[in-house]
Structure 1
Amino acid sequence: MATRSALLNVMTKAADKAARGLKRDFGEVENLQVSRKGPADFVSAADLKAEKVLKEELQKARPGYGFLMEESEAVAASDDSGRRWIVDPLDGTSNFLHSLPHFAISIALEERGEIIAGLVYDPIKEDLFHAEKGQGAFLNDRRIRVSSRTRMTDCLIATGAPFAGKGDRPQFLGEIDAVMANTAGIRRWGAAALDLAYVAAGRFDGFWERGLSPWDYAAGLILLREAGGYVSEMNGKALTLGSPSILATNNAIHSDLMKLLRKPLSN
Structure 2
Amino acid sequence: MSEAVKVAVEAALAAGKILRDRKDSIGEISYKEFYDPVTEVDLLCERTVINRIKKTFPDHDILAEESGSAEGNPSPSKWIIDPLDGTLNYSHGYPCYCVSIGLEHEGQLEVGVVYNPCLDELFVAERGKGATLNNKSIKVSTIPTLKESLLVTGFHPKVAHSLDDNLNHFCRFMKACQAVRRPGSAAMDLVYTAMGRFEGFWELKLSPWDVAGGMLIVTEAGGTLSKFDGSPVTIYDEEILVSNGLIHQEMVDILQHDI
**Could you state the TM-score of these two structures normalised by the residue count of structure 2?**
0.92
For the structure 1 residues 202 and 39, does the alpha-carbon distance in structure 2 shift closer, same or farther, using more than 3 Å as the test? same
Aligned length: 253
| Equivalent of residue 62 in structure 1, options 50, 57, 81 | 57
Paired residue for 1:113? 107
Offset from partner CA, 1:116-154 (integer Å, 9 cap, x none) = 110000011100001000000000000000011111111
Paired residue for 1:131? 125
Deviation at 1:39, TM superposition (A): 4.5
1:45 and 2:46 are equivalent in the alignment: no
Q: Distance in 2 between matches of 1:250 and 1:85?
A: 26
Offset from partner CA, 1:148-202 (integer Å, 9 cap, x none) = 1111111001001243434436x52221111011101000000000100001000
SS of match in other structure, 2:45: helix
For the aligned residues, what is the CA RMSD? 1.8
Name stretches of at least 5 consecutive residues in structure 2 with no aligned partner.
32-36
| Equivalent of residue 190 in structure 1, options 171, 178, 184 | 184
SS of match in other structure, 1:110: strand
Deviation at 1:72, TM superposition (A): 1.1
Alignment of 1:236-251 (within 5 A): 236-251=230-245
Q: Whose helix proportion is higher, 1 or 2?
A: 1
Task: Confirm or deny: 8 A CA contact 1:40 1:97 kept in the other structure.
Answer: no
1:158 and 2:160 are equivalent in the alignment: no
SS of match in other structure, 1:84: strand
Task: Confirm or deny: 8 A CA contact 1:77 1:84 kept in the other structure.
Answer: no
Name stretches of at least 5 consecutive residues in structure 1 with no aligned partner.
33-37
Paired residue for 1:9? 6
| Equivalent of residue 95 in structure 1, options 89, 94, 97 | 89
Q: Percent identity?
A: 35
Q: Which stretch shows the higher mean deviation, 240-249 or 41-50?
A: 41-50
**Could you state the TM-score of these two structures normalised by the residue count of structure 1?**
0.89
Task: Confirm or deny: 8 A CA contact 2:229 2:255 kept in the other structure.
Answer: no
Paired residue for 1:27? 24
Structure 2 residue identity aligned to 1:200? A
Paired residue for 2:204? 210
SS of match in other structure, 2:20: helix
